[in-house]
A and B are shown apart, each in its own frame.
Chain A
Amino acid sequence: MTGTTKAEQKHLDDMEAFVAHAAGLATMALAPEIETRIATLAQAFDAAVAGLPPAPLTVLVYHLKLPDEHRHIDYVDIQADQGKIDYTSVLQHTFAMARGFNPDCRILYVTGADDDTAFVPADVTVVRLPLNPGWLMYERVVAMNAYLASSAFTGHAAFLDSDAFANAPLEKVFDLGFDVAVTYRTSPGLMPLNEGVIFAAKRPGDGAAKFFRRYLGTYEALCADARVKEVYGDIRRWRGGQLSLNGAAIATGHLSDLDRRVIDGALLRYLNCDDFNFFIRDSEQYSKFQLKRKYVLHLKGPSKGSVASAAQFQLPWLQVWRKSGANLFAPILQAELAAAAPAPKTEAATVESKPGGYVKPMFAFINKEYNRPPFDAAETRQKFGGHIQAAAEILQANRPGSGAVAVDDMLVWFRNAGFLQQEDFIRAVGSYGTDQTLRARIWRIYTLCWAAKSCLGLPGDFMDVGCYDGRTVEIMERYCDFRSDPSGKTWFLYDLFENPPDEARKSGHGPELFDRVSATFAPFGNFRVIKGAVPESFAQGLPDRVAFAQLDLNVAGPELAALEIIHERLVPGGMIVFDDFGFQRYRDSHDAEMAFFRARGAVIFESPTGQGIYIKR
């Protein structure tokens, strides 16, 4: 900074007041000779676009070659040597990006009457205007007014600095609905609005033209203002464009994209520079993803010389955009979501037996029916599972209090499912709450718990016919506190434990299973684990009176045979729960058992869990 006076510094220290001062001078009034000049220049635009097809968007780029006497900028808050910048390569990149991201746009290059245009691509329309290069910024506002007054203004327009590179389709910006959109920044000490990117919409009412008239009128008023002269001197060359834009757009206070202002008949929107006019500097590092999120990249200060580095990012980016369009961010966002934080680690809810705990059910394809058509096709299974999952997501199924549960080949909603939060049940499930197989059939397990506990006060013993690894009985036992039952009941557990028929085979069957299950229940004293085929194995031990029994043999013949024996011993009020009764796969068991009870004038309840429940009267 060269010799800033106290008066100058005072103004700059309170930029907001300075802008407010400019806003106070804002006017639409233009001298007649200026209006005449605009009309004359508009004709040049008319001529330039004559015969061109209409375009939904025009990108207007303005550049004048500065004569040597004007190349040095030396203002109180900015100093630069414009002559050092290779504007040819900068402009070529500006044109390329404008076209690349906006294939259907019209690009107008507004320049001086004698400036070189040999480097300008064929798809860019050159508009030569008799402009004063010594008044670089003032003439730009005049040129923009001339464009808006011309027949060339048929679609929306984006006014870009010669070093402002489109980085996304700009037509999208006009979805927001405005006459003029300006870009703001919140950097202290800078004027809030930057003039390098301005959007002018073609809408009824000519709001854009009205605002730009105000822009120029304000510029004129500021040129004549003593306070402005004191700080900046001649602002027609530099600084005046920005200050008059801030004044005309009343850029005071904290600007936000929330705000719209109707100013002299024009609807103004304020867009954040961070998205719509992003300044890039050589001195800073930017991630590619950061740059991809910007509508316009704008070189600032000395970095004007480094257009090559911008091109290095933008050219490949443009190719990606062309292939994927507006939705190219979808996979990026997916990846971001995939990398999101895991759920918080907490004390496992499933073993929480304190009030407020929760047994978390799960939905799993453990039913053998999923091995048959149409589910045997992985694609079908996947599709089906996806739909179930989507519905479960909507319902927030299997979350405490959601009222929805996906379990046991069911998805139900508007339910209490209160048992999942029942303290006794949570304690009974205990550490098995982390077992996926058990969680996937938790409603069935609860049904068993309920039935067993209901029969606790009855005379007679308990039976589990087809107990497999005994874990379900363990849960029931804990739920009933069977080991402490004072009535002297015994729980009889039956299973082959090894070499079961294919239909009943599970991964845990084997020579050790019997010992393992026996060992589990041995300490309790009132359990008997009997190995062998049912009903033959009943010979090893069978209660005289049965209060509760579960039948789960997966094979109709032995199940019915066992039923006949158990039913005879079942006490009034006693229950039998048939694990397979409602499942399509075991229709033969269902039919046989139905016939069995029908013959005795009794009924069996088919539960939504797939279980059948019989209570002896």
Chain B
Amino acid sequence: MCGIAGYLNFNPARAPDAIQATIARMNRRIAHRGPDDRGQWADPDNLCHLGHTRLSVLDLSAAGHQPMHSADGRYVISFNGEIYNYRNLRQQLEKLGHQFHTGTDTEVILAGFAVDGVDFFTVVDGMFALAIFDRETGITTLARDRAGEKPLYYAAGDGFLAFASELRALLEVEELPVTLSESALALYFTLRYVPDPDTILAPVKKLEPGCVLQVTRDGRQSLNRYYSFEIDQAHEVGPDRLSKYVDTLEEALSEALTDRLNADVPLGAFLSSGVDSALACALLAKKLGKTVKTFTIGFEGDPGSEHIAARDIATRLGTEHREHIFGAADFDRICGDIGKLLDEPNGDRSCVPTYLLAEFTRQHVTVAISGDAGDELFGGYSRYPAFAVAYDRDRSGRAPAMVQTYIERGLPVFAADAVREALPQGYEAVLDFYDRYAPVFMHLGRPALHSLRQLDFRTYLPGAVLAKVDRMSMQHALEVRTPFLSPRLLGLASRAGLGLCWNGKMQKLALRHLLARYLPAQHVQAPKKGFGMPPSVFFNNQARLEQELRLAHRRLSETRFFTQRPGALDRLFRAAGKGINAIWATIVLAKWVDSVERPL
């Protein structure tokens, strides 16, 4: 796992040395993503400049140094991620006569791109964000994985386009003026995160998952998609084929895990009491026969804490289990640092435990398997049934309004009125968000649960969940691998009919049926628990929170953005009330603003 940075220069008068100095600063900003090595490359024509920080996971030798050049020197790559099927792809490329000089997946990507161009990304099983510069055409290709596991920020300025794994790295580009984006803030106060392609800072954008951005030597941009998660109703599998489906699921998940076990460093797995991580660990331990190190986090004094059940699962699976109990000291420490730890504001309450889990896990391993995405792919969120029932009963509403209702009630942060009144122009972006994703509810006769799965896969998963996992794990240079996001699993999930996801009482049925092959009922039938800090953490730290909220008001009111919008902040703070989500999102935002070294 690594960090990438780059600068495309369309102004020949700009000095290459100055750009290289910028790249060096960007590299330093993302050093935590890749502490093992650092590299820079400058195009002799002063068009493309690339940077890279490396966390060595495969081929730990210097041969894996980046930016890496293709054998013929035509292509140069800066790559962040892991390609799990790179051995297979490598064999295919070797049959075409390609000779490889390293054991890295980076070289395979480079070779594959040389053969198939952007089509090569469609055959890749992996998580990645990359930049490839074609020295012959002068075209730079930026690409991101299917689900958005790895981040890629970019911004165009006067005669340049810069990009990086993290937003803060772009702040090192001095000639890039940035401001807090009203649209993004309105989205943040509505969703707790800023969805792709927006970012909290204008004019910076995030490349959307499954997309490729190509930039010509004169700065023209061409954005294309190579993947989107669809529900394949034409080939959906009903409950009559459950058993066969579960067999296939077991095989596909085992295959995805096997591919994700490939590492030249110690490897472990996150384990909560949930179905997804339990299933991943069960297959690792029982099906694949691996000795697994598992890691979990519990909450002191929280009766719903998952660590007790996780401990039992670990005992049953025979894993080498470790747990960390989140206590008051942890809360104090993370609460103080949360602004600096987050690359971009993310008000998801599970960022903090994820940070701690990653920190704790990294003490023992370098790579961890996680169960993320199971809820989106197989319909596991506890908020789904209520909306699914209501929407299936009455489809007379407008599709954008269905998205809006789901967002406002299913994942409430600030009341819509407050956001609209505080940030009237920005709220247009919120309405546009609802419009954009409305097609998920346009399918006649399609169960609403499928629409919710698709909506969350496209929005919540990359925007909140995967962003959190990447940023929190990368703070500790821990690489997290997600077997549920293998292309085969995505395909299987797209064909899971309603009856495999939900029977009116229980969710994620197909996954639970598979888990039942390895664990007893109390784990198979356990309801979904969130991984967020439980309300008890907040109640136990109420005085601290109130103090933080006061500080947040002061910090935000001092920003140029809110100074120019008198009354907006007070309107939002009145609405924050006692809503945990709103309070935490506000504190996170203020701390993040405070940690940014540019005036906002």
CB-contact partner of B443 in A252, A275, A332, A340, under 8 A: A275
Interface of chain A residues 253 through 274 with chain B (CB within 8 A): 253-260, 269, 271-272, 274
- Within the complex, what minimum Cβ distance (angstroms) separates B502 from chain A? 6
Question: In the complex the two chains form, what is the Cα distance from A442 to B233 in whole Å?
Answer: 44
Asked if B509 contacts A352 (CB within 8 A), the reply is: no
Asked if B499 contacts A329 (CB within 8 A), the reply is: no
Asked if A327 contacts B393 (CB within 8 A), the reply is: yes
Contacts of A330 in B (CB 8 A): 392-395
Contacts of B524 in A (CB 8 A): 344, 346
Asked if B445 contacts A289 (CB within 8 A), the reply is: yes
Contacts of A336 in B (CB 8 A): 447, 497-499
Question: In the complex the two chains form, what is the Cα distance from A343 to B505 in whole Å?
Answer: 8
Contacts of A400 in B (CB 8 A): 309, 522, 525-527
Question: In the complex the two chains form, what is the Cα distance from A357 to B312 in whole Å?
Answer: 10
Contacts of B444 in A (CB 8 A): 168, 275, 292-295, 329
Q: Does B504 make an interface contact (CB < 8 A)?
A: yes
With A329-B445, A330-B393, A341-B242 given, is the CB distance from A401 to B225 under 8 Å?
Answer: no
Asked if B525 contacts A357 (CB within 8 A), the reply is: no
Asked if B238 contacts A339 (CB within 8 A), the reply is: yes
Main SS of the interface on chain A? loop
With A349-B522, A402-B527 given, is the CB distance from A176 to B435 under 8 Å?
Answer: yes
Chain B, Cβ-Cβ closest to A269:
B439
Contacts of A438 in B (CB 8 A): none
Q: Does B99 make an interface contact (CB < 8 A)?
A: no
Chain A, Cβ-Cβ closest to B512:
A344
Chain B, Cβ-Cβ closest to A344:
B516
CB-contact partner of B304 in A175, A257, A275, A401, under 8 A: A401
Interface string of A311-345 (1 = CB under 8 A from B): 00000000000000111011011101111111111
Q: Does B563 make an interface contact (CB < 8 A)?
A: no
Asked if B312 contacts A347 (CB within 8 A), the reply is: no
Q: Does A573 make an interface contact (CB < 8 A)?
A: no
- Within the complex, what minimum Cβ distance (angstroms) separates A332 from chain B? 6
With A329-B444, A352-B521 given, is the CB distance from A401 to B309 under 8 Å?
Answer: yes
Contacts of B168 in A (CB 8 A): none
Cβ-Cβ contact count across A and B, 8 Å cutoff: 186
Asked if A254 contacts B500 (CB within 8 A), the reply is: no
CB-contact partner of A327 in B395, B400, B522, under 8 A: B395
Q: Does A418 make an interface contact (CB < 8 A)?
A: yes
With A275-B442, A333-B445 given, is the CB distance from A343 to B512 under 8 Å?
Answer: yes
Question: In the complex the two chains form, what is the Cα distance from A252 to B118 in whole Å?
Answer: 12
CB-contact partner of A418 in B303, B392, B398, B497, under 8 A: B303
Asked if A293 contacts B233 (CB within 8 A), the reply is: yes
Question: In the complex the two chains form, what is the Cα distance from A357 to B498 in whole Å?
Answer: 29
Question: In the complex the two chains form, what is the Cα distance from A274 to B506 in whole Å?
Answer: 30
Contacts of A418 in B (CB 8 A): 303
CB-contact partner of B226 in A253, A269, A343, A393, under 8 A: A253
- Within the complex, what minimum Cβ distance (angstroms) separates A424 from chain B? 16
Q: Which of A252, A289, A295, A341 has the most CB of B within 10 A?
A: A341
CB-contact partner of B516 in A271, A294, A345, A416, under 8 A: A345
Asked if A346 contacts B398 (CB within 8 A), the reply is: no
Q: Does B92 make an interface contact (CB < 8 A)?
A: no
Q: Does A459 make an interface contact (CB < 8 A)?
A: no
Asked if B224 contacts A254 (CB within 8 A), the reply is: yes
Asked if A416 contacts B234 (CB within 8 A), the reply is: no
Interface of chain A residues 119 through 160 with chain B (CB within 8 A): none
Asked if B529 contacts A401 (CB within 8 A), the reply is: yes
Q: Does B579 make an interface contact (CB < 8 A)?
A: no
Q: Does B446 make an interface contact (CB < 8 A)?
A: yes
Asked if A258 contacts B436 (CB within 8 A), the reply is: yes
Question: In the complex the two chains form, what is the Cα distance from A343 to B522 in whole Å?
Answer: 12
Asked if B527 contacts A333 (CB within 8 A), the reply is: no
Asked if B499 contacts A341 (CB within 8 A), the reply is: yes
Question: In the complex the two chains form, what is the Cα distance from A256 to B228 in whole Å?
Answer: 7
Q: Does B54 make an interface contact (CB < 8 A)?
A: no
- Within the complex, what minimum Cβ distance (angstroms) separates A48 from chain B? 31
Interface string of B285-329 (1 = CB under 8 A from A): 000000000000000000110101100110100000000000000
Contacts of B228 in A (CB 8 A): 254, 256-258
Question: In the complex the two chains form, what is the Cα distance from A414 to B295 in whole Å?
Answer: 27
Asked if B442 contacts A176 (CB within 8 A), the reply is: yes
Question: In the complex the two chains form, what is the Cα distance from A349 to B512 in whole Å?
Answer: 14
- Within the complex, what minimum Cβ distance (angstroms) separates A253 from chain B? 3
CB-contact partner of B445 in A172, A271, A292, A352, under 8 A: A292
Asked if A343 contacts B527 (CB within 8 A), the reply is: no
Question: In the complex the two chains form, what is the Cα distance from A418 to B304 in whole Å?
Answer: 10
Question: In the complex the two chains form, what is the Cα distance from A215 to B14 in whole Å?
Answer: 41
CB-contact partner of A326 in B395, B513, B515, B520, under 8 A: B395
With A253-B226, A325-B396 given, is the CB distance from A344 to B498 under 8 Å?
Answer: no
Asked if A293 contacts B396 (CB within 8 A), the reply is: no
- Within the complex, what minimum Cβ distance (angstroms) separates A149 from chain B? 27
- Within the complex, what minimum Cβ distance (angstroms) separates B378 from chain A? 12
Contacts of B395 in A (CB 8 A): 326-327, 329-330
Q: Which of B210, B228, B521 has the most CB of A within 10 A?
A: B521
Chain B, Cβ-Cβ closest to A404:
B527
Asked if B435 contacts A347 (CB within 8 A), the reply is: no
Question: In the complex the two chains form, what is the Cα distance from A252 to B437 in whole Å?
Answer: 21
Contacts of A54 in B (CB 8 A): none
Contacts of B242 in A (CB 8 A): 341
Q: Does B382 make an interface contact (CB < 8 A)?
A: yes
Chain B, Cβ-Cβ closest to A358:
B522
Question: In the complex the two chains form, what is the Cα distance from A475 to B10 in whole Å?
Answer: 81
With A176-B400, A327-B394, A399-B526 given, is the CB distance from A337 to B521 under 8 Å?
Answer: no
CB-contact partner of A337 in B230, B502, B523, under 8 A: B502
Chain A, Cβ-Cβ closest to B528:
A396
Interface of chain B residues 162 through 221 with chain A (CB within 8 A): 208, 210, 212
Contacts of A402 in B (CB 8 A): 527
Contacts of B309 in A (CB 8 A): 356, 400-401
Contacts of B416 in A (CB 8 A): none
With A176-B442, A274-B234 given, is the CB distance from A347 to B520 under 8 Å?
Answer: yes
Contacts of B100 in A (CB 8 A): none
Q: Does A173 make an interface contact (CB < 8 A)?
A: yes
Contacts of A349 in B (CB 8 A): 520-522, 525
Asked if B498 contacts A340 (CB within 8 A), the reply is: yes
Contacts of B393 in A (CB 8 A): 327, 330
Contacts of A342 in B (CB 8 A): 503
Q: Does A394 make an interface contact (CB < 8 A)?
A: yes
Contacts of B238 in A (CB 8 A): 339
Contacts of A416 in B (CB 8 A): 303
CB-contact partner of A343 in B208, B440, B506, under 8 A: B506
Q: Does B438 make an interface contact (CB < 8 A)?
A: yes
Asked if B225 contacts A259 (CB within 8 A), the reply is: yes
Q: Does A285 make an interface contact (CB < 8 A)?
A: no
- Within the complex, what minimum Cβ distance (angstroms) separates B455 from chain A? 11
Asked if A339 contacts B303 (CB within 8 A), the reply is: no
Contacts of A253 in B (CB 8 A): 212, 224-226
Q: Does A309 make an interface contact (CB < 8 A)?
A: no
Chain B, Cβ-Cβ closest to A346:
B521
- Within the complex, what minimum Cβ distance (angstroms) separates B206 from chain A? 14
Asked if B522 contacts A357 (CB within 8 A), the reply is: yes
Q: Does B273 make an interface contact (CB < 8 A)?
A: yes
Q: Does B115 make an interface contact (CB < 8 A)?
A: no
Instruction: Give 7 A-B pairs besides A175-B442, A253-B225 with Cβ atoms closer than 8 angstroms.
Output: A176-B399, A257-B228, A293-B444, A329-B445, A340-B503, A354-B520, A400-B522
Q: Can you name 26 A-B residue pairings with CB atoms under 8 Å? A: A173-B442, A175-B438, A176-B400, A176-B435, A253-B212, A254-B226, A257-B442, A293-B443, A293-B445, A326-B395, A327-B393, A329-B392, A329-B444, A333-B498, A334-B392, A337-B502, A337-B503, A340-B499, A341-B242, A341-B510, A343-B506, A347-B521, A349-B525, A354-B520, A400-B527, A401-B529
Binding site for B on A (CB under 8 A): 168, 172-173, 175-177, 252-260, 269, 271-272, 274-275, 289-290, 292-295, 325-327, 329-330, 332-334, 336-349, 352, 354-358, 393-394, 396, 399-403, 416, 418, 421
